[in-house]
Amino acid sequence: MSRNKYAVASRSIWYVLRTLLIITAIVALCLGVFVEGMYVSNLYILVTEGLEARAECILTDGAVLELTEYFTEDFVRNDNALYEGAYDAFTVSSFDYRVDVERVTVLPWNKRANMQVLTQLAAVNAAANDAESGAELPEWVPARYSVALARSGSRWYITGLTLIEENPEMKPVPTPDYSLLPSPTP
């Protein structure tokens, strides 16, 4: 009879331990998914806003120091595009810079992440500072980049931007773009 009590107690203990282990695994999985989602959304916002701010600095000769909110100081110091001055002869009043995120690679326990993005300057409104010089607005080349990011404390920063491909093949827009339709002729 005593054997039977021990068998019941043993099975009960294993049932409780197995159930606790399963519940712990589910909670850990949910926590990992939550942290992963939080990182992905933070990285998406950081990269899209950071690359738009970088394009604005290049086009309008803006304040490079404001980029340290998105980029590391080392990246800003070594980014040649920020200091070339290709658009210094023009006053850019507005532009439409598009960043499409294609892939994100980050794990909840890592302090590094990678993102692949497709960038293009869809439209720009600019006027030459010297109208008589005949200077033409330099063309902004669409490109596919690999963006390297690092976490410092609780914040992410862009640490590198590697060109993968210039003039990549663009996918068609899933919804109609009425601005591309031919204008009606009377």
Question: pLDDT by residue (tens digit) across 126-170?
Answer: 888 887 777 788 888 999 999 999 999 889 999 999 999 998 887
Per-residue confidence band for 7, with pLDDT thresholds at 50, 70 and 90: confident
CA–CA dist 140, 7 (Å, integer): 76
Which amino acid type is present at position 105?
Answer: T
Enter the pTM of the model: 0.79
Element (H, E) at 77: helix 73-78
> If you average pLDDT over every residue of the chain, what do you get?
88
pLDDT single digits (tens) 52-77: 999 999 988 777 778 889 999 999 99
CA 51 to chain centre: 8
Beta bridge partners of 71: 158
Q: Nearest Cα to 39, choosing from 102, 104, 116, 119? A: 104
Q: Is the pLDDT of residue 173 over 70?
A: no
Which amino acid type is present at position 110?
Answer: N
CA 133 to chain centre: 38
DSSP symbol at 26: H
pLDDT score at 117: 95
For 182, half-sphere exposure in the C-beta direction (CA atoms, 13 angstrom radius) is 3
Joined together, the tokens standing for residue 151 give: 């976490």
Q: Is the pLDDT of residue 100 over 50?
A: yes
CA–CA dist 138, 159 (Å, integer): 27
Q: Is the pLDDT of residue 99 over 90?
A: yes
CA–CA dist 33, 40 (Å, integer): 10
